[in-house]
Amino acid sequence: MSTSPNGLFRGYEDDEADDIQSLPVSIPLELVVRDHEVIRELLQHSEGRDRDDFALSALRLGVLSIRQASGEIDSSAVRREGERLIEGVEQSLSQHKALLESKLQDTLRTYFNPEDGHFTERVQKLVDKDGEFAGVIERMVTGEGSELARRLDQQFGPNSSLARMLSSDPEAGDGFLSALRRTIEGDVTRQREMLLKEFQIENDQSALYRLLTHVANKNKELREGLASEVTKLTDEFDFGRDESAISRMKRSLEQTQSKIDQNLTLDQEDSALSRLKREMFELLKEQGKSASEFQEEIKSTIRELKAREKERAASTRHGDDFEADVLAAFQTAAEPSGAIVTPCGNTTGSIPYCKKGDIVIELGSDHAAAGSRIAIEAKEDRSYSLSAALAEIEEARKNRGAEVGIFIFSSKVASEDFEPFSRIGDDLLVVWDSEDPDDQLKVRLAFSVATALCTHKGAQRDRVEVDFTEIETSIRAVEKQAGSLDEIRKFAEGIEDRAGKIIAKLDTRQKTLRRQVDRLDDQVEELKNVFKTVAEDA
């Protein structure tokens, strides 16, 4: 049962390798730490991968420590339980042996004691002169009133048919019947005496004596065999014998305990625990070095990001950067539909000298509302209110000839008046965080809603043949002409003598043109409302 240390640990390593192969590569684990010491130690590491790596290393070290402690406790428990088991078995066997011998002797003595044993007493009652067996034989065989005498008298008596047939004088006592009776009675008496002799215990040739002798011999052999087996069993649990089973078991446990102690001690350099300790120290050293390097890289990256963010916030280009982020987000959202996204914040639109409308999206030819336009205004300015934003996007729609407007406001400067996503008429107001990947959903949602509104407006235009584009162009042209009158006013004011009439005419014409523009705007709005009502009724 002895095992070499190399063989012992080679088998352990093979089992461990098989066990590792059967394990999953990783398992997700989410912990809530409430221990103050652990929290204090974790807070010394920066949140993220550094803290996760430190927590994993601490968890692995704790598992190995618990496994080591469990091994020492198990070996001690095995040694104590083995000694206690041996003592208990030895004590139980001794008690059982004494109890078995006592009960066996008492039982044999109760049944086979020649003086007062139950078996001897029973046999004596059967074969005694006045015993049950003698009484039965006497009732059946002896006496005139016995069953045998009665049967014989019926068959061979003086009044029997046989006596009458064999004797000329049935009344005669010395006839054939009397002789036959005497002969039979003599034979029966001899048979009775022979039978009684077979059940006499004093006769060493009787069957009863031979039976008792045979039972006594078998009982002696049984006792001797039982005593021999009990002796052998006791010898197997005798610590004084080197070859006993309990001694071999003790030596095997001591050898196993010695090997366990040799491999689970830190006093020997070549023990498994010492090797594990060295490997753990080397691993922790490498992990600490790697964690320090990673921490330095993280700190350096954070410093660079903070400096870049600070520089970006201090510059005047943060608004342009936000506009570029909005442009990239809508290009990504519109790419699958084939819509054309165009930045136009630096170009004027249909309103003279007006550059409002940073981005214009024109729906592609495959769309139901092909050619429809969506104006987008991107702002990262804290001074904008809700009313200012609505006025800004309305003017942007007019300037870019768009059916729908989208006002994108940066979440960094948005006030509480702004909902995260809202629709007011043909305009959409969206509060957006350019640095949050999950917030990109708002851009896709805004594009989808704006596309649906364009489709709805396109369906209304198809039902009523009105060229709103031409009307809008005319209105903008009138506005442009009205604006040019300001230049004429400036020239006219310089001519004091002839300016009175010119200025009066200019004022009259300018007021008339403005009234016409306002009237046209009102008519367009009324037409739009009519088309909207018709579409809803349809």
* Residue 9: closest CA among 185, 264, 239, 228: 264
User: Are 449 and 334 members of one domain?
Assistant: yes
Q: Count CA within 13 A, CB hemisphere, residue 453.
A: 20
Q: Tokens for 255?
A: 């050898």
Boundary of a domain, candidates 463, 498, 516: 463
The tens digit of pLDDT for each residue in 183-202 reads 888 888 888 888 888 878 78
For residue 107, tell me if it sits in a domain.
Answer: no
CB 403, CB 524: distance < 8 Å: no
User: Are 165 and 191 members of one domain?
Assistant: yes
14 pLDDT band, cuts 50/70/90, is low
498 pLDDT band, cuts 50/70/90, is low
Q: Which residues make Cβ contacts (< 8 Å) with residue 433, sequence separation at least 6? A: 410, 411, 412, 439
Number of domains the chain is built from: 4
110 pLDDT band, cuts 50/70/90, is confident
State mean pLDDT over 274-296: 79
User: Are 345 and 459 members of one domain?
Assistant: yes
Q: What span, in angstroms and rounded, lies between the C-alpha atoms of 153 and 436?
A: 132
**Three-state DSSP class for residue 404:** strand
User: Are 448 and 480 members of one domain?
Assistant: no
User: Are 481 and 449 members of one domain?
Assistant: no
For residue 151, tell me if it sits in a domain.
Answer: yes
User: Are 458 and 338 members of one domain?
Assistant: yes
Q: What span, in angstroms and rounded, lies between the C-alpha atoms of 339 and 273?
A: 68
Specify the DSSP element, H or E, that contains 410.
Answer: strand 404-410
User: Are 66 and 127 members of one domain?
Assistant: no
CB 368, CB 455: distance < 8 Å: yes
User: Are 458 and 505 members of one domain?
Assistant: no
Phi and psi at residue 435, in whole multiples of 5°? -95, -5
Stated pTM of the model: 0.34
For residue 213, tell me if it sits in a domain.
Answer: no
CB 335, CB 363: distance < 8 Å: no
CB 430, CB 439: distance < 8 Å: no
Question: Percentage of the chain with pLDDT > 70?
Answer: 68
For residue 56, tell me if it sits in a domain.
Answer: yes
Question: Percentage of the chain with pLDDT > 90?
Answer: 2
* Residue 323 confidence (pLDDT) above 70: yes
End-to-end CA distance of the chain: 96
Phi and psi at residue 110, in whole multiples of 5°? -65, -35
* Residue 468 confidence (pLDDT) above 60: no
User: Are 334 and 419 members of one domain?
Assistant: yes
For residue 311, tell me if it sits in a domain.
Answer: no
The tens digit of pLDDT for each residue in 202-252 reads 888 888 888 888 888 888 888 888 888 888 888 777 777 778 888 888 888
Q: What span, in angstroms and rounded, lies between the C-alpha atoms of 475 and 468?
A: 10
User: Are 140 and 191 members of one domain?
Assistant: yes
Question: Which position has the higher pLDDT, 123 or 397?
Answer: 397
Question: Which position has the higher pLDDT, 365 or 73?
Answer: 365
Boundary of a domain, candidates 203, 227, 258: 203
Boundary of a domain, candidates 414, 429, 463: 463
User: Are 458 and 325 members of one domain?
Assistant: yes
The tens digit of pLDDT for each residue in 417-449 reads 778 888 888 888 888 887 877 777 888 888 888
Question: Which position has the higher pLDDT, 471 or 155?
Answer: 155
Beta bridge partners of 422: 429
For residue 290, tell me if it sits in a domain.
Answer: no
For residue 422, tell me if it sits in a domain.
Answer: yes
Burial class (CB in 10 A: 0-12, 13-18, 19+), 406: buried
For residue 80, tell me if it sits in a domain.
Answer: yes
User: Are 59 and 170 members of one domain?
Assistant: no
Residue 58: which domain range?
5-95+243-284
Question: Which position has the higher pLDDT, 93 or 79?
Answer: 93
Question: Which string of DSSP letters, residue by residue, matches 421-462?
Answer: EEEETTEEEEEE-TT-GGGHHHHHHHHHHHHHHHHHHHHHHH
The conformation of residue 145, written as its DSSP 8-state character, comes to: T
Strand-pair category, 404-410 with 359-362: unpaired
